[in-house]
Amino acid sequence: MSEPFGVRLRAQMERRGPLCVGIDPSPALLTAWGLDDSPAGLERFTFTVAEAVSGVAAAVKPQSAFFERWGSRGVAVLERVIPSLREAGALVILDVKRGDIDSTMAGYAEAYLEQGSPMAADAMTVSPYLGFGSLAGAITTARANDAGVFVLARTSNPEALTLQSAVADQIFEGVAAANEGEDDLGSVGVVVGATLDKVGHPLDRLGGPILSPGLGAQGGSPSAVARLFSGVRHAVLPSVSRAVLGDPSRVRSQVERYRDECVEHLRG
């Protein structure tokens, strides 16, 4: 890579519009597509979605769990689709939510961020709940490979509210410190749910991107995202999954609709 992830993400959002599309090959979606819940069905679903969205969305976010459930056969599909998406021009954010310490965190980072790895993505999601310092290995590896990390901060699942409210300040401060000195959008971002009523923490000094999942099926909308992040809209990457994946014949048109709405509300 010749440019840091944050710089590439900013350019991609300007070029294609601020939208990330999740690839979530759940058993329910495979069934809805008339596919077997099998590695073959997983592969068919994954590459159909990838072909439909790789030239349209700024970023694509495969959910690793739905591949891992099939062991080596599922991981093999993931290893094939990541470079395919990247070659088509989409940034790949691998949704793995890894969080550990020292050599173990470094191992996860090597697997998902080290260029040359079979699963090398442009960015990965990470969990900070062993302490923000536990992410140091991932952040170091990301910088060395012009990759990025998105740190779970304020997710939209109700059971997370109490825990995340208690530590969110530390997470946002840690991310801001990691991006300090960056002239453009930094490469260390946060995950903040699109369905929240409010963030409750200042984001204007964050310095990095905000991945905001929850459009569509979870109740989030581009207009609500624009209100939630009114002061930092330039840094927000909303994400949609199930709402665009239900009908294989309409994936691209649904993605284009959400993309156009995100452009309207986040750039208006």
Domains in the chain, please, with CATH?
5-267 (3.20.20.70)
Distance from the Cα of residue 123 to its chain's centroid: 8
Identified catalytic residue from 80, 97, 242, 252 = 97
The three-state secondary structure class of 206 is coil
DSSP strand E in the chain: where?
20-23, 59-62, 91-98, 123-126, 148-154, 188-192, 210-215, 236-240
Contact of 58 with 267, CB cutoff 8 Å: no
Q: What is the pLDDT of residues 81-129, one digit of tens each?
A: 999 999 999 999 999 999 999 899 999 999 999 999 999 999 999 999 9
User: Are the C-beta atoms of 16 and 58 separated by less than 8 Å?
Assistant: yes
| Token pair of 144 as six digits | 């060395």
- The whole-angstrom separation of Cα 97 and Cα 130 is 12
pLDDT at 1 over 70: no
pLDDT more than 90, % of the chain: 88
Summarised one tens digit per residue, pLDDT across range 193-214 is 999 999 988 899 999 999 999 9
The answer to whether 97 is a known catalytic residue is: yes
Of 236, 212, 260, 247, the closest CA to residue 52 belongs to: 247
Assigned token pair, 2: 């010749």
Q: Is the pLDDT of residue 261 over 90?
A: yes
Average per-residue pLDDT for the chain: 95
